[in-house]
């Protein structure tokens, strides 16, 4: 199990969620994420390897501020067809509370909530500079050490259930009600020079699997404030609140891996990759429409085999530098995009028009409190947590 001297599975990869930041391209992957897409695996611990965790019951709780912008906004990548700059600020809180802690096992409750604002005049929000909440997530966590030796350790963690409430504007306005899921994490910590070594103390890699079921008002996105005239199956003009023709992803999953190299006690380099398949509600075919043709009724034919599956791919890499026990700064690159682009071509996992650069400041609330009241460090090694899982 990752001990106190190796606190964190790497650097911060926030949106979203960006921690919970909204994706420049809105895609419905329940991919175990809210509509304000959590672009990265939510970090659990804001500290670098050299920071000893506190023994407070709310340890690892932290506040973060993240800035992200698309690579094309900075002129990196392929040329524009039309310029659409995007810059976003996200602020959030990730509280944790530990009910039980032993040398090998921990039981805790964790939550995640924030607000974000898109500062450029892009097409992701209605008004320029509009503030919106991120989706609220809460989940109990059970983590335990499976095995341990002098050179390595293996840990497993289960979060069940994961509850995601549609507190963001996009989620609520499109008809999402509730998402329920589970997350399974497996991490391996390998010593290199040793935990107390200044350089290259250890290396951590991990794997995760997630599943989410999304409850919605309808099979397609709807908004009660929308009044659009459409023809119903009987050929009668009716007012409709349907936002589009694509159906919701009722089920989604995430399968991915992480590698964190601790370059120094205060510096970590983390790279992540994952795939996020989603299964959408089926589309009704061969619907009878009556009253619009002289012969009576006709059958509206659609696509022979409508696509009810989609997938996102994600790649990110960043560096975390710990400035003090309570403040850490991370900078990195993220590409979260649809596996198949609008042109029907398969996109690269490493770069797409959705790619972003980001920078984030993390403030560890427990470390800040411990420093303010001169709370002594724990004398026994406390269990450290995965930062990205």
Query: What does the mean pLDDT of the chain come to?
Result: 76
Q: Which two tokens stand for residue 68?
A: 């992200």
Q: Which residues pair with 267 in a beta bridge?
A: 264, 321
Q: Residue 137 contacts by C-beta under 8 Å, 6 or more apart in sequence?
A: 34, 42, 111, 112, 113, 162, 163, 164, 165
Q: Which residue has the higher pLDDT, 39 or 81?
A: 81
Asked if the structure places residue 298 within a domain, the reply is no
Asked if the structure places residue 297 within a domain, the reply is no
Q: Which residue has the higher pLDDT, 264 or 15?
A: 264
Tens digit of pLDDT for each residue in 260-318? 998 988 899 999 999 999 998 877 666 666 655 556 666 666 666 667 788 999 999 99
Chain centre to alpha carbon of residue 357 = 16
In the three-class reduction of DSSP (H, G, I as helix; E, B as strand; rest coil), residue 60 is classed as coil
Q: Residue 374 contacts by C-beta under 8 Å, 6 or more apart in sequence?
A: none
Q: Which residue has the higher pLDDT, 263 or 34?
A: 263
Asked if the peptide bond before residue 332 counts as cis, ω within 30 degrees of 0, the response is no
Q: What per-residue confidence (pLDDT) applies to 16? A: 32
Asked if the peptide bond before residue 161 counts as cis, ω within 30 degrees of 0, the response is yes
Structurally, the chain folds into a number of domains equal to 1
Asked if the structure places residue 170 within a domain, the reply is yes
Asked if the structure places residue 47 within a domain, the reply is yes
Q: What per-residue confidence (pLDDT) applies to 85? A: 83
Strands of the chain (E only): list them: 62-70, 87-94, 96-101, 105-118, 131-133, 136-148, 152-165, 176-191, 202-216, 228-231, 237-240, 249-264, 267-280, 287-293, 296-300, 309-322, 327-338, 356-364
Q: What per-residue confidence (pLDDT) applies to 180? A: 95
Give the ranges where the chain is alpha helix by DSSP (H).
169-174, 365-372
Q: Which two tokens stand for residue 7?
A: 């606190």
Q: Which residue has the higher pLDDT, 33 or 335?
A: 335
Tens digit of pLDDT for each residue in 99-134? 998 888 999 999 999 999 888 877 666 677 788 888
CATH of the domain at 249: 2.40.160.40
DSSP 334-372: EEEEESB-TTSPBPPSS--TT-EEEEEEEEEHHHHHHHH
Asked if the structure places residue 98 within a domain, the reply is yes
User: In this prediction, what percent of the chain has a pLDDT beyond 70?
Assistant: 68
Q: Which residue has the higher pLDDT, 262 or 217?
A: 262
Report angle CA 59, 64, 70 to the nearest 5 degrees: 145
Q: For residue 26, what are the domain limits?
A: 4-226+243-283+307-372
Can you give the pTM of this predicted structure?
A: 0.78
Asked if the structure places residue 64 within a domain, the reply is yes
Q: Which helix (H) or strand (E) holds 328?
A: strand 327-338
Asked if the structure places residue 152 within a domain, the reply is yes
Q: Which residues pair with 146 in a beta bridge?
A: none
Asked if the structure places residue 299 within a domain, the reply is no
Q: What per-residue confidence (pLDDT) applies to 77? A: 75
CA distances in angstroms from 367 to 51, 61, 106, 198, 224, listed in the order given: 9, 9, 19, 21, 46
């Amino acid at each position: 199990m990752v001990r106190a001297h190796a606190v964190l599975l790497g650097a911060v990869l926030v949106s979203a969620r960006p921690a919970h930041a909204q994706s420049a391209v809105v895609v419905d992957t329940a991919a175990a994420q809210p509509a304000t897409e959590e672009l990265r695996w939510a970090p659990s611990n804001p500290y670098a390897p050299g920071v000893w965790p506190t023994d407070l019951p709310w340890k690892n709780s932290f506040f973060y501020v993240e800035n992200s912008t698309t690579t094309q906004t900075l002129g990196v990548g392929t040329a524009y067809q039309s310029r659409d700059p995007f810059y976003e600020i996200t602020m959030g809180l990730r509280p944790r509370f530990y009910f039980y802690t032993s040398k090998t096992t921990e039981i805790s409750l964790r939550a995640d909530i924030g607000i974000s604002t898109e500062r450029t005049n892009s097409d992701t929000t209605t008004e320029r500079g509009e503030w919106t909440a991120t989706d609220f997530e809460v989940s109990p966590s059970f983590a335990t050490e499976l095995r341990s030796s002098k050179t390595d350790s293996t840990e497993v963690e289960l979060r069940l259930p994961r509850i995601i409430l549609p507190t963001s504007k996009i989620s609520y306005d499109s008809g999402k009600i509730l998402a329920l899921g589970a997350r399974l994490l497996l991490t391996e910590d390998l010593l290199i020079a040793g935990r107390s070594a200044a350089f290259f103390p250890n290396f951590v890699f991990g794997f995760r699997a997630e599943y989410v079921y999304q409850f919605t008002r309808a099979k397609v996105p709807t908004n009660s404030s929308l009044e659009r005239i459409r023809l119903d199956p009987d050929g009668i003009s009716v007012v409709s609140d349907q936002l589009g023709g694509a159906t919701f992803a009722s089920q989604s999953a995430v399968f991915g891996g992480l590698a964190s190299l601790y370059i120094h006690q205060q510096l970590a380099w983390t790279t992540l990759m994952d795939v996020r398949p989603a299964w959408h509600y089926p589309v009704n075919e061969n619907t009878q429409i009556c009253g619009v043709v002289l012969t009576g009724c006709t059958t509206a034919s659609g696509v022979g085999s409508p696509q009810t599956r989609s997938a996102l791919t994600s790649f990110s890499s960043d560096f975390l530098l710990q400035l003090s026990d309570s403040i850490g700064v991370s900078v990195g690159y993220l590409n979260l995009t649809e596996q198949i682009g609008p042109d029907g071509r398969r996109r690269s996992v490493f770069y797409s028009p959705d790619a972003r650069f980001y920078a984030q400041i993390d403030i560890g609330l427990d470390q800040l409190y411990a420093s303010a009241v001169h709370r002594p460090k724990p004398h026994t090694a406390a269990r450290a947590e995965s930062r990205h899982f």
